[in-house]
């Protein structure tokens, strides 16, 4: 699965860079999403594979902090990027004549930069607040990686500040982008239903279906994990068990693997660009 993530997302990045037909805001965001998925999985999957193969399941305090920062930063950034992509589709379908003016290069580069910067700042705050806590006991993380909720369970101090900041983070990085996505697609649906051409409706639906599928898969799993922080529980009532770990593994590995497959299957431009890259003969 990790190799599929690297190859699939790598091909999408290369195609979006070298194919001039893909030099548009939508494929720029898609390239960012693919790069993010590679970084996201690379922050945790290699160490998980090593622990499974070698039975070495220790991680240093600083290594845990780095893994937590990267995972949280990539997750936060992806939430914002998906919201930006929904807005891009809204402008393309509801204001097609003004699309190139509204979504010019300065605007979409700035939108992506804000997503990355905001996700990084959010992760710095959450990681700092989590790793400053005192940890006592056997310090066994009941998870595949240094996932923030699993680490907070080990703290032997008041974590009310962590809970408050995580609730605020959830509002900013989960709820607000989801509202942007929801209202964008409400306007898109209204515009599509008013179209007289069946071909136009089909084309509009096809350009949005891939993004909407990714949003449903990603937000469905991420909301289950972070909408209600489960940081400390009474002894003997360990709820952070197999189901939560598998859900975390799903949005951390399965979703990044499915993203390039979904976008390439649903998009003729991407399929054409990838086929061209794979079939191109080397220059002698």
Please classify residue 20 by burial: count the beta carbons closer than 10 Å to its beta carbon, then call 0-12 exposed, 13-18 middle and 19+ buried: exposed
- Summarize the chain as % helix, strand, coil (round to 5): 80, 0, 20
Tokens of 54: 């070698």
Q: How many other CB atoms sit within 10 Å of the CB of residue 63? A: 12
CATH of domain 1-226+239-273: 1.20.1070.10
SS3 assignment, position 54: helix
Q: Of 33, 89, 102, 80, which Cα lies nearest the Cα of 208?
A: 89
pLDDT at position 99: 92
pLDDT at position 283: 55
pLDDT at position 227: 60
Domain ranges of the chain: 1-226+239-273
Task: Quote the CA–CA distance of 241 and 226 in Å, as a whole number.
Answer: 15
pLDDT in tens, the chain (284 residues): 999 999 999 988 998 888 877 888 988 999 999 999 999 999 989 988 888 888 778 888 999 999 999 999 998 999 999 999 999 999 999 998 999 999 999 999 999 999 999 999 999 999 999 999 998 878 888 888 888 888 988 888 889 999 999 989 989 998 999 999 999 999 998 888 888 877 777 777 777 887 888 888 888 777 776 665 454 444 444 554 677 777 778 878 888 998 888 877 666 767 677 676 677 655 55
Tokens of 224: 């289950």
pLDDT at position 282: 58
Task: Quote the CA–CA distance of 91 and 88 in Å, as a whole number.
Answer: 5
Tokens of 149: 């909720």
Task: Quote the CA–CA distance of 71 and 65 in Å, as a whole number.
Answer: 10
pLDDT at position 233: 47
SS3 assignment, position 135: strand
pLDDT at position 145: 85
Question: What's the whole-model pTM score?
Answer: 0.86
SS3 assignment, position 19: coil
What's the CA angle centered on 130, arms 124 and 136, to 5 degrees? Answer: 150
CB 9 within 8 A of CB 259: yes
pLDDT at position 87: 95
């Amino acid at each position: 699965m990790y190799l599929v993530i690297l190859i699939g997302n790598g091909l999408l990045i290369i195609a979006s860079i070298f194919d001039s037909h893909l030099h548009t805001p939508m494929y720029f965001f898609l390239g960012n999403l693919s790069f993010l998925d590679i970084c996201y999985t690379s922050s945790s999957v290699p160490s998980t594979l090593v622990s499974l193969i070698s039975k070495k399941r220790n991680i240093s305090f600083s290594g845990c902090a780095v893994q937590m920062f990267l995972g949280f930063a990539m997750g936060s950034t992806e939430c914002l990027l998906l919201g930006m992509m929904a807005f891009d589709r809204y402008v393309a379908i509801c204001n097609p004549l003004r699309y190139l003016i509204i979504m010019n290069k300065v605007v979409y580069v700035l939108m992506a930069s804000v997503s990355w910067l905001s996700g990084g700042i959010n992760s710095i705050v959450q990681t700092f607040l989590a790793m400053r806590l005192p940890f006592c006991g056997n310090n066994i993380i009941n998870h595949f990686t240094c996932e923030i909720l699993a680490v907070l369970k080990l703290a032997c101090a008041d974590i009310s500040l962590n809970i408050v900041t995580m609730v605020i983070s959830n509002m900013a990085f989960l709820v607000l982008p989801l509202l942007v996505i929801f209202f964008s697609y409400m306007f898109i649906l209204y515009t599509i239903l008013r179209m007289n051409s069946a071909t136009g409706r089909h084309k509009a639906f096809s350009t949005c279906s891939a993004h909407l599928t990714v949003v449903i898969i990603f937000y469905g799993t991420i909301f289950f994990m972070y909408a209600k922080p489960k940081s400390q529980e009474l002894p003997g009532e360990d709820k952070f068990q197999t189901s939560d770990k598998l859900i975390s593994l799903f949005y951390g590995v399965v979703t990044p693997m499915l993203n390039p497959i979904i976008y390439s299957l649903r998009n003729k431009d991407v399929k054409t660009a990838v086929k061209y890259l794979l079939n191109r003969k080397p220059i002698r």
